[in-house]
């Protein structure tokens, strides 16, 4: 199984690469703006340099995804500048969706805290529940006063439109578990990243088994 991961050097991306890399039957390609200079000797990730905010990224991604079994989109800009962040969070997502549609990648997964999805599949992360399809009554809405919420809403709509336009691309939206407990912020964030990566890895393996 060949899995392409955007934002592969983030917390979730790093944890996911570690989980997938432990399986010799899985090839991982990480797509980031600046590939890491030094990685662990056991890290077999193939790195591709690509700035998703640039329109030319579609030409880089499409042939890469044509050879992939799944795409996990994790790239995002969490900086405090709404305008700059939109270049990656909205523009970059549009470019990823365009490339995925061109390549007809069989599976696309992305992580979002949006309330719902229209044509995607909702997954209960950290709850032990299996992914389940949801209907059009699920509203895809962000927080009106939050540009981050607006970015997440735009991302969800772009991928919903992709799923409707290219039915061959199975789009799955997953929600990270809620941060809770008395641990420090750093530890809670690390735990959420690990749980989210584990859920993504399990979803990918289920798909691989179903296709076998």
- Identify any residues that bridge with 18 across adjacent strands, giving them in sequence order: none
| Number of H-type helices and E-type strands within the chain | 6, 8
Look at residue 122 and give its three-state secondary structure: strand
Q: State residue 126's pLDDT score.
A: 39
With a cut of 70, list the residues of the chain below it in pLDDT: 40-42, 113-145, 178-183, 208-212
Sheet order of strands, 27-32 included? 46-49, 27-32, 2-6, 70-73, 107-111, 170-175, 121-124, 132-133
Alpha carbons 174 and 46: distance in angstroms, whole number: 25
Residue 179: name the closest of 17, 8, 11, 18 by CA: 11
Pairing of strands 121-124, 132-133: antiparallel
Pairing of strands 2-6, 27-32: parallel
Q: State residue 157's pLDDT score.
A: 93
Query: Cα(first)–Cα(last) distance of the chain, in Å?
Result: 11
Handedness of CA 196, 203, 115, 181 (dihedral sign): negative
Q: State residue 113's pLDDT score.
A: 63
Distance of CA 109 to the CA centre of its chain: 5
- The CA-based angle 208-209-212, given to 5 degrees, is 85
| In the chain, domain spans | 2-211
Q: CATH code for 2-211?
A: 3.40.50.720
């Amino acid at each position: 199984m060949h899995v392409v991961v955007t934002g592969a050097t983030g917390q979730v991306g790093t944890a996911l690469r570690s989980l997938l890399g432990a399986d010799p039957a899985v090839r991982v390609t990480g797509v980031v703006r600046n590939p890491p200079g030094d990685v662990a000797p056991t890290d077999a990730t193939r790195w591709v340099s690509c700035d998703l905010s640039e329109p030319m990224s579609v030409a880089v991604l499409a042939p890469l995804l044509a050879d992939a079994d799944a795409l996990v989109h994790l790239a995002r800009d969490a900086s405090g500048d709404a305008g700059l962040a939109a270049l990656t969070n909205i523009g970059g997502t549009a470019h990823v969706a365009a490339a995925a549609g061109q390549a007809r990648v069989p599976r696309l997964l992305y992580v979002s805290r949006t309330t719902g999805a229209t044509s995607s599949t909702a997954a209960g992360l950290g709850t032990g529940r299996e992914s389940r399809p949801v209907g059009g009554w699920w509203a895809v809405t962000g927080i009106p006063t939050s540009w981050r919420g607006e970015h997440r809403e735009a991302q969800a709509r772009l991928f919903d439109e992709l799923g409707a336009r290219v039915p061959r691309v199975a789009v799955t939206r997953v929600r990270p578990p809620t941060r809770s407990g008395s641990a420090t912020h750093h530890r809670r964030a690390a735990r959420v990243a690990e749980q989210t990566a584990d859920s993504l890895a399990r979803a990918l393996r289920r798909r691989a088994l179903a296709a076998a």
